[in-house]
Amino acid sequence: MKDKEHILLLLQLVKFNGNINYLLELGYTHIQILNMLNIFNKKGIVINENDTFLLSSEGELYLNRLCKELKKRGLYKYLSPSFKNKIKKISINEIFIPLSFVRKKGLFSLSHENVKIDESSIDKEFPF
């Protein structure tokens, strides 16, 4: 697991005994998740006792350090975005036209390499 945002998510999941499905949705395999948890265990970041999984004081420090590095403050130290719904950042020169706007104005013939249409919200009734 290399993405620090994802490591932070795993730490948050341990801290609040959260749902492991959030990591599986990101495409991680069970082996990858379990290996990471085992590494946490070996390094004393988590404590695994009597079937509970807790963040150790060292783990809390690591979480804080990671939050600082990723510039997460306040509530965002404990909440991660829903990665599967995150949209890829586009460059400043790219033009983004929301689909609702395209539909409203009837701009179906628009085509240009720098024109991005928000295809994620195209529904089945749409004519293309």
Residues in touch with another protein (CB under 8 A): 13-14, 17-21, 24, 29-31, 33-34, 37, 48, 51-53
Shortest CB 44 distance to another protein, Å: 16
Q: Which is nearer to another protein, 29 or 100 (CB)?
A: 29
Upper half-sphere CA count for residue 104 (Cβ side, 13 Å): 5
Q: Which residue has the tokens 């928000």?
A: 118
Nearer to another protein, 43 or 68 (CB): 43
Q: Give the integer Cα–Cα distance in Å for 126 and 96.
A: 19
Coil/strand/helix, residue 83 = helix
Q: What's the gap between Cα 24 and its chain centre?
A: 11
Tell me how far, at minimum, the Cβ of 98 lies from another protein, in Å: 26
Radius of gyration of the chain (CA): 20
Residue with smaller CB distance to another protein, 24 or 115: 24
CB of 47 to another protein, least distance (A): 12
Q: How far is the CB of 125 from another protein (least distance, A)?
A: 24
In contact, 59 and 11? CB cutoff 8 Å: yes
